[in-house]
Amino acid sequence: RYEITQRETSAEILPGVRTPLWTYEGTFPGPTIESRRGRPVTVTHRNELPVPTVVHLHGGRTPASSDGYPTDLVLPEKWHEPVSMHGMHGMGGNMRDPRAVVTRRIRDYTFPLDQRPTLLWYHDHRMDFTAPAIWRGLAGLHLVRDAAEEALGLPSGRRELPLMIADRAFTADGSLRYPALDRDLRTRPGVEEPYAAGVLGDVILVNGAPWPVHEVDAARYRLRVLNASNARHYDLEAVLDDGRRLDLVQVGADQGLLASPVVHRNLPIAPAERYDVVLDFARVPVGGRVRIVNRLGSGRTRDVMAFRVARRAADDSRVPRVLSRDLPSWRRSDAVRTREFSFRAGRMDGGHGWLIDGRPFDPSRTDVTTRLGDTEVWRLVADVHHPVHLHMVGFRVLSRGGRPPLPHDAGLKDTISLRPGEAAEIITRFDGYRGRFLFHCHNAEHEDMGMMANLEVT
């Protein structure tokens, strides 16, 4: 059981200035929650922010009632009840009846966590306002563990580091800069939205700190990496002082451990994706540095963070050849149906929108119905980069561009990075819970501009 108060605060992120934030519990990122597989957790959220909020546990296998549907609001104190949920679309969620003041600012979310251990994250999910809410600080980590994973002997304790990577832009006085905070992103007549592609920052934060330098032992470390950026893609590599690169030994994906480790020289990570990687700093001379670099960045945005190898140390950790044996091995022939979805730009409400199959999100429309326990193949087609995320289920990547999946597609995923012009196939089994769930692009601006749809599991 946890209690989290959502409140405004400010923090010194850049030296010498204070940045106003919206936070979970006064910190950015919010408090890291650690849970055991199969042991349900209830988180009570109290909303002291000036706006309604929605909490979603990304990657959680959660019943619809606690999954953070975009119109299932935790209202702030003295909020005016919306006239109706239907019809909010395009209104930026601000349509309200001035007479009906309600106070419903406390809300329990219950997570069964009956799922493979992994790094989840919780973040805001309010309709039309997810991107600015996350940008202002509403994001935190949630680790699920179990005994089998702990028995593997992977680096742990001080040598396991959750890393939430997120870019932000700041004004001179330290405030976060966002193009249209709290305004409808879609309806500015006549203006081609400069941020239609998504909002980027020029400061890279890791766990809320700009370009941190972390001291490490000359030993293996397990990095639990999350890209919590609204729109920025990274292609990470670990570069030594002499220009050599350190192997990134991937042990897990969005939805937990791989079957066996995969070694990468560089690792692309799209918004909302997680990678669980082991780096061996024993290969670095004491006193040396390892810079984590984004190959897709330029200038300041090329650097992410650095490790300084401070001392020799004993290391009894290991990376076993077999990491897990419980990965689902769905085959094409298991699928009872195949569906196709396009993720493309389009026009909506007279402005720019991002659409799935030509339609913007409508909370009152059921886009897809499936039966609990059905296995399906989904073919996803993109115009530009779209990290596509499914709620409730994990999936496996079957193909990309008609070819076998890439090395970083290994394991069980909940977000797939579709590349420009690409078609990819995923396979999943809709087991878990009945009810209404979402799938959407996790470029947070694309999501707010309509690229989201409803999946009804019956």
Identity of the residue numbered 287: G
Closest approach, Cβ 159 to Cu ion, in A, equals 29
For residue 200, the tally of other CB atoms under 10 A from its CB is 17
Residue 205 φ/ψ, nearest 5 degrees: -105, 140
Q: Quick check: 233 binds Cu ion (CB under 5 A)?
A: no
Binding pattern to Cu ion, positions 163-202, x when CB under 5 A? ----------------------------------------
What residue 45 binds from ligand C2O, Cu ion, none (CB within 5 to 8 A, per partner kind)?
A: none
Do 123 and 67 touch, CB atoms closer than 8 A? no
With CA atoms as reference, report the closest residue to 360 among 450, 254, 456.
450
Q: Quick check: 272 binds ligand C2O (CB under 6 A)?
A: yes
Binding pattern to ligand C2O, positions 48-67, x when CB under 6 A? --------x-x---------
Give the residue, chosen from 62, 443, 452, 457, that forms a contact with Cu ion under the rule CB under 5 A: 443
Give the residue, chosen from 440, 448, 451, 457, that forms a contact with ligand C2O under the rule CB under 6 A: 440
Which helix or strand (DSSP H or E) is residue 160 part of? Answer: strand 160-168
Q: Which is nearer to Cu ion, 281 or 430 (CB)?
A: 430
Do 363 and 89 touch, CB atoms closer than 8 A? yes
What residue 440 binds from Cu ion, ligand C2O, none (CB within 5 to 8 A, per partner kind)?
A: ligand C2O
For residue 249, the tally of other CB atoms under 10 A from its CB is 17
With CA atoms as reference, report the closest residue to 451 among 356, 378, 319.
356
Q: Which residues pair with 292 in a beta bridge?
A: 238, 305
C-alpha 414: how far from chain center: 9
Handedness of CA 413, 236, 212, 179 (dihedral sign): negative
Q: Which is nearer to Cu ion, 7 or 436 (CB)?
A: 436
Q: Which is nearer to ligand C2O, 317 or 454 (CB)?
A: 454
Q: Quick check: 218 binds ligand C2O (CB under 6 A)?
A: no
CA dihedral of residues 192, 196, 201, 202 (deg, nearest 10): -60
Q: Which is nearer to ligand C2O, 155 or 271 (CB)?
A: 271
Q: Which is nearer to ligand C2O, 168 or 440 (CB)?
A: 440
Q: Quick check: 166 binds ligand C2O (CB under 6 A)?
A: no
What residue 441 binds from Cu ion, ligand C2O, none (CB within 5 to 8 A, per partner kind)?
A: Cu ion
Residue 420 tokens, joined: 């420009």
CA distance 445 to 132: 8
Stretch that binds ligand C2O, among 24-32, 370-378, 417-425, 434-442 (CB under 6 A): 434-442
Do 122 and 140 touch, CB atoms closer than 8 A? yes
CA distance 226 to 445: 18
Residues 6+ apart with CB under 8 A from 203: 14, 167, 168, 169, 170, 210, 300
Distances (CA, A) of 157 to 32, 153, 201, 220: 14, 11, 32, 12
Q: How many residues bind ligand C2O (CB under 6 A)?
A: 10
For residue 418, the tally of other CB atoms under 10 A from its CB is 22
Give the residue, chosen from 70, 429, 446, 452, that forms a contact with Cu ion under the rule CB under 5 A: 446
Do 44 and 108 touch, CB atoms closer than 8 A? yes
Q: Quick check: 413 binds ligand C2O (CB under 6 A)?
A: no
What residue 125 binds from Cu ion, ligand C2O, none (CB within 5 to 8 A, per partner kind)?
A: ligand C2O
Binding pattern to ligand C2O, positions 106-135, x when CB under 6 A? -----------------x-x----------
How is residue 406 annotated by DSSP? P
Q: Quick check: 446 binds ligand C2O (CB under 6 A)?
A: no
Stretch that binds ligand C2O, among 179-187, 311-319, 321-329, 437-445 (CB under 6 A): 437-445
Give the residue, chosen from 136, 159, 168, 386, that forms a contact with Cu ion under the rule CB under 5 A: 386
What residue 218 binds from Cu ion, ligand C2O, none (CB within 5 to 8 A, per partner kind)?
A: none
Q: Quick check: 391 binds ligand C2O (CB under 6 A)?
A: yes
> First vs last Cα of the chain: how many Å apart?
30
Give the residue at shortest CB distance from ligand C2O.
58
Provide the H-helix boundaries in 42-159.
130-135, 147-150
What residue 224 binds from ligand C2O, Cu ion, none (CB within 5 to 8 A, per partner kind)?
A: none
Q: Which is nearer to ligand C2O, 272 or 290 (CB)?
A: 272
Give the residue, chosen from 37, 45, 58, 274, that forms a contact with Cu ion under the rule CB under 5 A: 58
Q: Which residues pair with 170 in a beta bridge?
A: 176
Stretch that binds ligand C2O, among 14-22, 184-192, 279-287, 438-446 (CB under 6 A): 438-446
List residues binding ligand C2O (CB under 6 A).
Answer: 56, 58, 123, 125, 272, 389, 391, 438, 440, 442
